[in-house]
Structure 1
Amino acid sequence: MKFGITQPNPCSYLPEEKEQILVLVSDTPATRHQYDYLISMGFRRSGEQVYRPHCQACKACVPIRLPVAQFSLSKSQKRILKRNQDLEVKVSTQDKPEYYTLFESYIKQRHSDGSMFPPSKAQYQGFVPSPWGETLFIEFYAKQDLIAVAITDNLFTSLSAMYTYFKPEEDKRSLGTFAILKQIELAQTMGKEFLYLGYQIDNCQKMRYKENFLPNERFFEDKWQLITKKSV
């Protein structure tokens, strides 16, 4: 496998930093076997692009995953499960038109200052599909009304949480956390070892929530290390 490094660009998470990305360079998309290996080495994907932060002066983005057999619910997570016990959860393997409608509303209302604004169908279709075609769409319904979707990659030994979006009017449900809890349950049911959550960024408030899922493993110095307590 060959890799390239991007030029430094302003970081979308830490404005005072510059980001560089290590990108898989190939004439053909990564296979499921290749990505299964690369995600275990701290990589992620966006559409067909497989990447990992490779910043020279900053190591804030730390890959994080959950060993699902060891996961333990916190008191607040138990309350979130109870709060959402009225929801119906379904799993689909097909991208549906109604998903984009929900995604568009979510980006416009919740992330109008982010890199994904303004949303477009081309943008959505560019980052969702995987080359190996093993993407799951976890649907959340309130009285037959679709209120959230969690896009999840299905790999050989793990699931990977790609992106979750929801009706902004339902923010009191804590649907982001609820979606992760349901992905953990799905991984356990499917006999997966891990749920990958992307990158933990301690200095970015929007990206610190992943540390609330314990125990977790973080990729430091090219190896996974078990974390059993939240950082102070």
Structure 2
Amino acid sequence: MNAPRTITLFRSPARPCSYLPGREAVNEWADPAAVDARVYDRLIELGFRRSGSHVYRPGCSDCARCISMRVDVQRFRPARRDRRCLNANADLSLHWAEPGYSAAHFALYRRYLAARHPHGGMDNPTPEGFRQFLIGDWSRTRFLEMRRDGKLLAVAVTDEVRDGLSAVYSFFDPDESRRGLGNFAVLSQIRLACEAGLRWLYLGYWIESSSKMAYKGRFRPAEGFIEGHWRPLP
């Protein structure tokens, strides 16, 4: 499929914002019939993200706090806290796995959601929901496994895009929270993108005032998609 010059966008109904209390959120979704891997290469450069086979961006008319963010992996240098995280996980091995359902991945995913999102509607996933959320019909996706002596501790769902990698989602053993496996997943994807000669790790939406999303701002240098352009984040 050749990338279309225009794509129809559909707006979702307003719903309570998951990140900013007291606010409502609206998403804009790209026409699924028009999207494939090549089209997504372009859309992610315009601030969009993937959820399953669907591609979206925030469309709130009265709020612009969700900023699509990408880390410059060639210029990134680990800070002291990053080096501590890397040292704490030096006993882990990394392995790329093909995307898809596996009993081991799903069991870890269930444990993670039960610990991190209890009673929030995500804590009782199904195998089909696992596939629909993490894997796109057209996406170039791989699962980055993090193991200790063969035991699966974490998975980072990672897309390959034209100029980088995109961190889609990560889940990990809640009993190993002291390791900082979420940060380790980001640091590992930064390193792998750099070693592959790529420029960016797309981290999704950064919300500085959200306790759930503010951590992304620690990975610098980075750019944010602001008012239609990628701009360096201060």
Same fold (TM over 0.5): yes
User: Is there any run of 5+ residues in structure 1 with no aligned partner, and where?
Assistant: none
Take 1:108 and 1:38, find their aligned partners in 2: how far apart are those partners?
32
Take 1:219 and 1:67, find their aligned partners in 2: how far apart are those partners?
13
Report if the CA contact (8 A) 1:29-1:48 is conserved: no
The count of aligned residue pairs is 227
CA RMSD in angstroms comes to 1.3
Residue matched to 1:22: 28
Deviation at 1:113, TM superposition (A): 4.3
Residue matched to 1:84: 89
Report if the CA contact (8 A) 1:108-1:119 is conserved: no
Between 94-103 and 60-69, report the one with greater CA deviation.
Answer: 94-103
User: Is there any run of 5+ residues in structure 2 with no aligned partner, and where?
Assistant: 1-6
The aligned amino acid for 1:52 is R
Question: Kindly, what percent of the aligned residue pairs are identical?
Answer: 37
Residue matched to 2:230: 224
Query: Which of residues 35, 41, 44 in structure 2 aligns to 1:39?
Result: 44
Report if the CA contact (8 A) 1:12-1:115 is conserved: no
* 1:164 and 2:146 aligned: no
Between 4-13 and 162-171, report the one with greater CA deviation.
Answer: 4-13
Deviation at 1:9, TM superposition (A): 1.1
Residue matched to 1:62: 67
Residue matched to 1:53: 58
Residue matched to 2:76: 71
Deviations 1:122-166 (A, max 9, x none): 221111112324101100111111010000001121100000000
Between 111-120 and 5-14, report the one with greater CA deviation.
Answer: 111-120
- 2:212 is paired with a residue whose SS is helix
The aligned amino acid for 2:180 is S
Deviation at 1:226, TM superposition (A): 1.0
Report if the CA contact (8 A) 1:87-1:140 is conserved: yes
Please list, as runs of the form range in 1=range in 2, the aligned pairs for 1:132-151 lying within 5 A after superposition: 132-151=138-157
- 1:118 is paired with a residue whose SS is coil
Pair 1:220–1:113, CA change in 2 (3 A): farther
Take 2:121 and 2:230, find their aligned partners in 1: how far apart are those partners?
29
Take 1:204 and 1:76, find their aligned partners in 2: how far apart are those partners?
20
Report if the CA contact (8 A) 2:99-2:135 is conserved: no
* 1:176 and 2:167 aligned: no
Pair 1:126–1:111, CA change in 2 (3 A): same
Take 2:205 and 2:54, find their aligned partners in 1: how far apart are those partners?
16
Deviation at 1:174, TM superposition (A): 0.2
